[in-house]
Structure 1
Amino acid sequence: MFTAYAIITVVTILANAGIAAADFLGARFVLANSAEVGLPQTWIPWLAVLKAAGAAGLLLGLLGVPVVGVAAATGLVLFYLGAVAAHIRARVYYNFAFPGGYLALAAAAFALAVTR
């Protein structure tokens, strides 16, 4: 069970660190997607901080502070539920797999962290 927890958590950390970096750098796809769902560009750095904090918290959980890992996974699940809701509200479905995929990773990391 620890192997599954470690693999899913590492993948979730890398995915969130990667998208946070893209947010911080103002990648074109980030700006385009946020505009489509009606997200002001001024919010992007703040959302990137939340994603990076989630990745850091998952890493701390993996390194032996399980309460922080569970809290980080919880935060990421809530964050990506909001992202999915923003896509639904804006009726932007063609790239729904991205927030849905991040949500699935966060939910899997949460479930494995809790059962660990």
Structure 2
Amino acid sequence: MEKITEGMHGIGVPDSWFPRLAALEFAGALGLIVGIFYRPLGIAAGVGVILYFIGAIITHLRAKDTKGLPMPAVLLVVAVAALLFGIATV
């Protein structure tokens, strides 16, 4: 946990954003899980998670933090896959 907060501080994320970002991640994960049973919510959550990780990648790029790029990039790919599977099974 400490490593994550240090990394976020290193790319310029203020402490005041932590609760909001955590809430967005939690809502996205919950939306994806509930979306298994109610596809429209899962699709909306998938779009939200994709936007979240695009923002994370942009933040890392602006801070010139190439070491921190792999994790949000992998999670972006997983989110895109979840969205595509959700759409394909509607």
Q: TM-score range by the shorter chain?
A: over 0.9
SS in 2 for 1:94: helix
SS in 1 for 2:67: coil
Query: Are residue 107 (structure 1) and residue 48 (structure 2) matched?
Result: no
Distance of 1:115 and 1:41 partners within structure 2: 39
What do the CA deviations read for 1:49-102 (whole angstroms, capped 9, x no partner)? 00000011011111x200000000000000000000000000000121111111
Superposed structure 1 runs of 4+ greater than 4 Å apart? none
Question: How large is the RMSD of aligned CA atoms in angstroms?
Answer: 0.8
Indicate the structure whose relative CO is greater, using CA pairs within 8 Å and at least 6 residues apart.
1
SS in 2 for 1:98: helix
Distance of 1:42 and 1:30 partners within structure 2: 15
5+ residue gaps, structure 2: none
> Amino acid of the residue matched to residue 95 of structure 1?
G
Distance of 1:101 and 1:37 partners within structure 2: 18
Aligned length: 89
